Structure 1
Amino acid sequence: MRYKFPHFMPKPEFIQPDYSHWNDVKIGMSRDEVIEILGPPLNDKYRGGKWKYSNSYYTYGYLQMPMIPHPRTYTFSIGFTDEGKVFDKQDPFNDIFSVDGSPTKPEIIIPQDSVVFSHYPRIIDMRWYPSSGVYPMNYIVEIGHQYMIDPETPGDFQDEVIEDDLAIPFYIHDFVGAQPGRIRIKAKNEIGESDWSEFCYFRFTR
């Protein structure tokens, strides 16, 4: 039976800078040049702005997911040296940005492709980079399993969408058996759906 998140689940909060302006900021720029392009940083002591104990990072946006364990996991942040020059840029999307607001194709972080698991119960933790585009963003999760009746002639993968309206870029699943599996992810927003991610293959041995 497919699990549906309850309607009272908190919604993601989000602030995004203009992508084109964000991409105009380059390593080596001065603090004044960054402020001229992006304006002042956010004024939020919990999720943005000048980081509490230092002026070395300015934050210009964030994706605050429901149930996320750390408030600065997905931020648009710029790091400065002691001389006030940009040395680091961090964004939630692994530097892949939507050009028209539609979702970008998700990129799976874990599990790593072709990994072999031997633990039981067969709990698998899936995480991927959030998709860029107009927010709010939701995700479709598909998981497949492959019966190994004969190791020489394995069967086809049986794929099934197990979540079609997920508000967060991670999912935990109890896999069906000691056999190969695969997952892929698709993003959707008010504009449309992304392409499916590449398949990520794995196998449980017990």
Structure 2
Amino acid sequence: MSFSLDLTKPLGRLGLAINTVVLGAVFYGVSLGSYQYMSHALPESQARQMEAVAKAGLVDKAVGKAKTAAKGKAFDENAARVQAEAALAPELKKEEGKYLAEAVEGWAPFAIFLLILSAIFFSGFLSVYVQRRANDGGLKGLWIFTNHLGAWALASYVAFYPFLAAHDLRNAWAPAFIGGLVLLLPVLFAGEGHHDHDHDHGDGQDHGHVH
């Protein structure tokens, strides 16, 4: 019941704390895996392909020039290809960073998009649990919005943590995480059992009508 998405079910302080930690671990893992894949695995694979294509083109060009220079004499193409690859190795080495940078730049929007999705789903699930906790604590009115705002801030920071860590922005955005926790404190420490009490009170009124 603790992990239920049913807003009518109450949720205690411990339940909210456990759900927040579990959701944080799950969506941090999702964000980390997707970001690593889109920022490292895919770009590195694409960079290797780009390098291979460029190398083949340069080697073929060098071999063609060598063959033309031979002017009908005995020409060992395999030896010329090996020699061309050795001669082009330093130049290709310098271009490795260029290919990787281009690949990373190309996949960057998709990496950010996946982090946004992770933040949205994390925020949505956490908001459900915050609302259940607010219902159980008897919290009402527009002030509940600040509790949800705290949930969104915390969830967004956790979901984007891999990106922030990769760009040394963790400390710069840490206030969002801290602020989110602070905004969650009222709903976290609200009383318990108000939800059940309201139902009991309603049952009592019904019995009065029967009599």
Q: Pick the TM interval, shorter chain.
A: under 0.3
Higher helix residue share:
2
TM-score for both structures, normalised by structure 1: 0.26
Higher strand residue share:
1
Where relative contact order (Cα < 8 A, 6+ residues apart) is larger, the structure is 2
